[in-house]
Amino acid sequence: MAVKNPAAPAAKHQEFRDPALKMAVRIPSPPPLLDELNRLLDDPNAGMEDIAKVVQTDAGLTASLFRTLAKPVYGLRRPPETAAQAISIVGLRTVAELVKGLSLEAAIYGDSAFYPWFWERANDIARYARAIAWKQRTVCNLFPEHAQLAALFMDCGVPILIQHIEKYEYAFVTAKGYIWPNVVAEDTRFDTDHSVVGYLAARHWKMPDYVCQAVRWHHDPINVEDQAATLIAILQTAKHIYNVQSLKDDSDWPRHETKALEEIGVAKEGLKEFEEDIIDRAGAH
């Protein structure tokens, strides 16, 4: 049965071309709400109520925000009833980045059951990425919210490409549901690149440059000279923890493990304990 996202508005799109792609791709544009939100975040005179009013202009998005904050990972005894309450409880930055992530999910959606499955996976990895950035904050020195957003954008090129190439989805489909195949191999088969599409989406949605770069290179060996190296290490480690926790194929991890762990300051002999702590922090149980 087809599953639709009740919060999803009709998204506008912009066409992009890149040498790595065999076709132009239409990427959903961020809703106007995000432009206004970013403007207010940069305005030192803007108050919490001003920002709350902007968030609440989209009833579906606001409802999704409240449902998200009701999850155990946020540890709230009672979920907020207004956007202003949400901001006062978990902070402005957390609410702003959650709104961006929920807007991305609403914009990249479709009628097949693939989409809720895809976003469940993406959100699990995003929670792990956020938890890693927070636990290792003195080493990583980046906003946990940026790690969470990077994880959401990391593979968003996959559903965008599925909307352009019907056969691209076939590798994900099994008799029992969906699996995560070797998407790099699928890119090669279709002469395309989901990482480039994700990068274009992150740029179009005005993500910080190092977030865009991490999305672009998250499958590649870490270049420690790159500004995005730490974020890439977080993404690779978060995906590894997801694969281990979900009993998924984790064959990419051995070629990333040494540099990724060095970059985030985790010793190999302490990895299992680290993984368990991240799973607890992410509220995955």
| Domain span including residue 264 | 111-285
d(CA 276, CA 47): 39
* pLDDT, tens digit (0-9, with 9 covering 90-100), for 224-273: 778 899 999 999 999 999 999 999 999 999 999 999 999 999 999 999 99
φ, ψ of residue 174 in degrees (nearest 5): -130, 170
Q: What is the pLDDT of residue 96?
A: 85
Task: Read off the pLDDT band of 98 (50, 70, 90).
Answer: confident
Residue 11 lies in a domain: no
Domain closes at, from 74, 107, 140: 107
Say yes or no: 283 and 144 in one domain.
yes
Confidence of residue 10 (pLDDT cuts 50, 70, 90): low
Position 14 in a domain: no
Averaged pLDDT, 77-82:
83
Q: Which of 16-25, 69-78, 119-128, 181-190 has the lowest mean pLDDT?
A: 69-78
pLDDT more than 70, % of the chain: 95
Q: How open is the CA angle 57-203-228, to the nearest 5 degrees?
A: 120
260 and 215 in a common domain: yes
How many alpha carbons lie under 13 Å from residue 30 in its C-beta half-sphere? 20
- The residue with tokens 């281990």 is 244
* 76, 107, 138 - which closes a domain: 107
Angle (nearest 5°) at CA 43 between 39 and 48: 90
Asked if residue 3 has pLDDT above 80, the reply is: no
The whole-number average pLDDT for the span 28-35 is 90
100 and 130 in a single domain? The answer is: no
Q: Which of 280, 283, 281, 279 is nearest to 245 (CA)?
A: 279
Among 85, 107, 129, the domain boundary falls at 107
Mean of the per-residue pLDDT values for the chain?
89
pLDDT digit string (tens) for 47-75?
A: 888 888 988 888 888 888 888 888 776 77
When pLDDT is cut at 50, 70 and 90, the band that residue 1 belongs to is: very low
